[in-house]
Amino acid sequence: RLYTKKHEWVQVEGDIGTIGISDHAQEALGEIVYAQLPDVDTKFQQSDECGALESVKAASEVYTPVSGVVTEKNTAVEESPGLINTSCYKDGWLFKLKLSDSGELKKLMNESQYQEFLKTDDH
């Protein structure tokens, strides 16, 4: 699993990336009550805004960690946004896309780099 500085993650199998938000992000947002996810076949460039999450205390944009075309969105999360709070890495993923440039993965942080990043003040 690889992470962005905006607390999204991507897990890649073959050329498909599954994308969600980190445990840190869901904790910061609090109880998520609404998820706006990108539609299938939408094309994004790395770091594009691709959706939004709303909690009882804040709203937050979602940015894609990699470029590609959306192949699936997690309709279960749209119906039950709390899945993001209870299972952000398993059941609470947001969408999947077919990567257009796997080289972009090198710009992301691995788990240990992300944990170090969380310890700094600039996140």
Instruction: Report the alpha-carbon distance of residue 33 to residue 98 in Å, rounded.
Output: 28
**Number of neighbours of residue 7 by Cβ within 10 angstroms:** 25
Is the pLDDT confidence value at 123 over 70?
Answer: no
**Per-residue confidence (pLDDT) for residue 87, from 0 to 100:** 98
The overall pTM is greater than 0.75: yes
Going along the chain from its start, the domains and CATH numbers come out as: 2-120 (2.40.50.100)
**Per-residue confidence (pLDDT) for residue 99, from 0 to 100:** 98
- The tens digit of pLDDT for each residue in 2-59 reads 999 999 999 999 999 999 999 999 999 999 999 999 999 999 999 999 999 999 989 9
